[in-house]
Structure 1
Amino acid sequence: MSRPLLATCLLASLVLPAAAEAADRPKQLVIISFDGAHDNALWLKSREMAARNGAHFTYFLSCTFLMNEAAKKAYQAPHQKRGKSNVGFAQSENEIRERLGNIWHAHLEGHDIASHACGHFDGRLWSKADWSAEYATFHATLKNAWKSVGLEEPSDWQDLVDHSIKGFRAPYLSATAGADMIAAEKKAGFTYDASLVTKGPAMPVEEDGILRFGLPLIPEGPSEKPIIGMDYNLFVRHSRGEEDSADSKAFEDRAYAAFSQAFNRQYNGDRIPLQLGFHFVEMNGGAYWRALDRLVSDVCHRSDVACVSYSESIPMIEARGKLQQTSGL
């Protein structure tokens, strides 16, 4: 064998196994979600961010932002006074009309519309009946949302409400201990829950037919102290929950560094899906939304990365055959 041919064969023997190994690796999944999903300007901003980067997001809706004045007065969450909500209500019917348009167009664009219940109450002591009542209010509010503000609904709106809203995240990530919340979710037709917190990125665990996801603890800041991968938790750590726009760029850089480190650890490692959570509030001058934009702009265009919704991630995770047997708590 000639030396050039031998060199070519040796090179191929090194390159081909590496290429095969890379081809066998699953895509790195990045799952971005938003809680509340009320501010119409941020609906537009998030949808533009997703479109620009080929991403799909999950929007956990709080249904009080779709309640007209009559529904607002009638709403009563479990163990609460009538007309009370911890996150407020829609300010006008025009605001609701615009929000409905954003929800519908987000659905058409491939985003995941999911439930964050209604009035954002801590349900850790709620019973199955309590959760079922809140889920029923959520469902009824969405069923009647367009008609309640005098609009003709899209032809497939009822199908979306009845068959496509499959996920739930508990307000405050405050899940009921025991089986009550999960039993109520199953009764309501949900197939996944995203209310857990895990020690690090973890595969979801199945519980009584519900696939349970958790936001991970990720290293952050100079000391790399773990923190839940969510904007509000960063807001509390960085500025004690007080708005500090003057240091917005520093907070953005810290958040982006934490997000990037968490991504790279999985991308270069086991490729466990990375979940990050946000709110429709631009805390600390928008620091955390800018950090998110930087992350998705950096990673979502890669051929071996998929920035997907929770619903889209489930068949991809199941195809790996590695559903976790414990929750990683």
Structure 2
Amino acid sequence: MVAARRIVAVVALAVACASALTGCSEAGWIGDTGSKEGAPGAKKTDPAPAPRSAVRLIGDGSTADTGPQPRRPRPQRLEPGRKPPQFVVFSWDGAGEDGQRLFSHFRKVARANNATMTYFLSGVYMLPEEKRELYLPPRHAPGSSDIGFNDIQGIKDTVAQLRGAWLEGNEIGTHFNGHFCGSGGGVGEWSVEEWKSEIDQAKAFLKSWKTNTGAREGVPLPFDYDKELIGARTPCLEGQQNFMRAARDLGFRYDTSGVGSQVWPRKTEGLWDIPMQLVPVPGRAFETLTMDYNFYVNQSGARAGAPAMHRHWGDQFRDGLLHGFERAYRGNRAPLIIGNHFESWNGGAYMRAVEQTIERVCTRSEVRCVSFRQLVDWLDAQDPEVLDRLRTLKVGQAPAKGWGAFLADGPAPAPKGVPGAPAAGR
């Protein structure tokens, strides 16, 4: 993660624009499938403007409560007989800006294709190497980590990307801190209380980046991380059970650390359980997870492979994702969940594949490329009976008599307090 040299990401403060809040909150943004664009509203070709000033600085001023997130759409209940949108969630494990500059690159890709995403930040990327002993990992010595800490310039660059991403409507989640996997103190062995400690520290490192870098005059992140942080993906998809128990106690709303199929999600332990999904590996007789690392393992054993194979492997990853997309889009419309890393494995084959997938699916009719937060907002706004009905559809299975008949009954009245849900009788 830590690069020897980094270019400073320049982020200017601009006048807050009220239309940034209203232009992308049109009724039906997530509920209406009649639009031919991936996300109606303001175009995402330019970065969102920053607020003129913080509403409320938090702690040392590393973060601030600036009010509602710009460009966060308003969920709507499905109308009777309407086909659900095809949701696609692109997410990034261990998000941070380093010398590859992939964070800033994929922000541009998202804006150009009407997409928002979820960035799972690793907390140690907000902690300078010289202050690594501030991290007290469960079952490991202080300052231990299986991934690198950062340098001050790298932290500043990451802060700039986090700020811009949030202002553009993206979500900032967590990938925790030290990324400990396997036996001997890995996250799969952690207790509920140890998970809570890890989460508290991940929050603390982001909320004190100014103190830890000495950048007292830096522009704060424009969100309250205690409110922003509602979901996560665990390292190596391990330790989910105890993490979910800790997350429920801390007010999280979802987890995406499981392994599953392309079916509609349900709640477990009070959280939306939205697993990584299995999709076909083109030309092979098995399926694997919708993540760059899993294709990397199956293609070259998680080692640098022959350069002559790079294009083929990238195309295979892209086509596997597209196959999964098409069978959901033409079938049960279950959300497609895609997870990746900012990496350059096999010559950048997987990053090229993800970019091509974004370009091919996010502007399709009835498709919504959203963050996990936006997806769970939509799920929470739906009639539970409609969601139960959607869960009866198997992988790739479209309703036998069409969506109009399958979802013909009117939804139950929206419970009070559901965000964006229409009033009863509407």
**Shorter-chain TM band:** 0.7 to 0.9
Aligned to 1:170: 234
After TM superposition, the structure 1 = structure 2 runs for residues 150-165 of structure 1, keeping only pairs within 5 Å, are 150-152=215-217, 154=219, 157=222, 159-165=223-229
Report the alpha carbon displacement of residue 242 of structure 1 after superposing the two structures with TM. 1.0
CA gap 1:259/1:176 in 2 versus in 1, 3 angstroms: closer
After TM superposition, the structure 1 = structure 2 runs for residues 282-293 of structure 1, keeping only pairs within 5 Å, are 282-293=344-355
User: Aligned letter for 1:221?
Assistant: P
Q: Distance in 2 between matches of 1:299 and 1:163?
A: 31
Q: Distance in 1 between matches of 2:198 and 2:117?
A: 24
User: Aligned letter for 1:167?
Assistant: G
Give CA deviations for 1:101-143 in whole Å, capped at 9, x if unaligned. 1111101111110011111113111101110110111111111
Is residue 163–residue 221 contact of structure 2 (8 Å, CA) maintained in 1?
no
Report the alpha carbon displacement of residue 156 of structure 1 after superposing the two structures with TM. 6.0
CA gap 1:278/1:176 in 2 versus in 1, 3 angstroms: closer
After TM superposition, the structure 1 = structure 2 runs for residues 1-329 of structure 1, keeping only pairs within 5 Å, are 24-40=82-98, 41-90=101-150, 92-122=151-181, 123-149=187-213, 150-152=215-217, 154=219, 157=222, 159-177=223-241, 180-198=242-260, 200-244=261-305, 245-318=307-380, 319=382, 321-322=386-387
Give CA deviations for 1:143-185 in whole Å, capped at 9, x if unaligned. 111332214354564x4312111111110010244xx322211
Aligned to 2:401: none
Is residue 240–residue 258 contact of structure 2 (8 Å, CA) maintained in 1?
no
Q: Distance in 2 between matches of 1:154 and 1:164?
A: 18
Q: Distance in 2 between matches of 1:264 and 1:107?
A: 29
Is residue 37–residue 279 contact of structure 1 (8 Å, CA) maintained in 2?
yes
SS at match of 2:111: helix
Report the alpha carbon displacement of residue 73 of structure 1 after superposing the two structures with TM. 2.0
Report the alpha carbon displacement of residue 93 of structure 1 after superposing the two structures with TM. 0.4
SS at match of 1:216: strand
Is residue 234–residue 240 contact of structure 2 (8 Å, CA) maintained in 1?
no
Is residue 100–residue 146 contact of structure 1 (8 Å, CA) maintained in 2?
no
Gaps of 5+ in 2: 1-78, 182-186, 395-426
TM-score (norm 2): 0.67
CA gap 1:189/1:152 in 2 versus in 1, 3 angstroms: farther
Aligned to 2:400: none
User: Aligned letter for 1:236?
Assistant: V
Percent identity at matched positions?
31
Pick which of 55-64 and 182-191 moved more: 182-191
Q: Distance in 2 between matches of 1:145 and 1:186?
A: 26
Give CA deviations for 1:17-38 in whole Å, capped at 9, x if unaligned. xxxx9x8211111111100012
Q: Distance in 2 between matches of 1:240 and 1:156?
A: 39
Which structure shows the higher helix fraction?
1
Give CA deviations for 1:30-51 in whole Å, capped at 9, x if unaligned. 1111000123301111101101
Q: Distance in 1 between matches of 2:240 and 2:87?
A: 28
Q: Distance in 1 between matches of 2:349 and 2:93?
A: 17
Gaps of 5+ in 1: 1-20
SS at match of 2:387: coil
Give CA deviations for 1:66-107 in whole Å, capped at 9, x if unaligned. 1024531221210011111111111x2011111111111101
Q: Distance in 2 between matches of 1:77 and 1:204?
A: 32
CA RMSD of aligned residues (A): 2.2
Q: Distance in 1 between matches of 2:165 and 2:175?
A: 17
SS at match of 1:322: helix
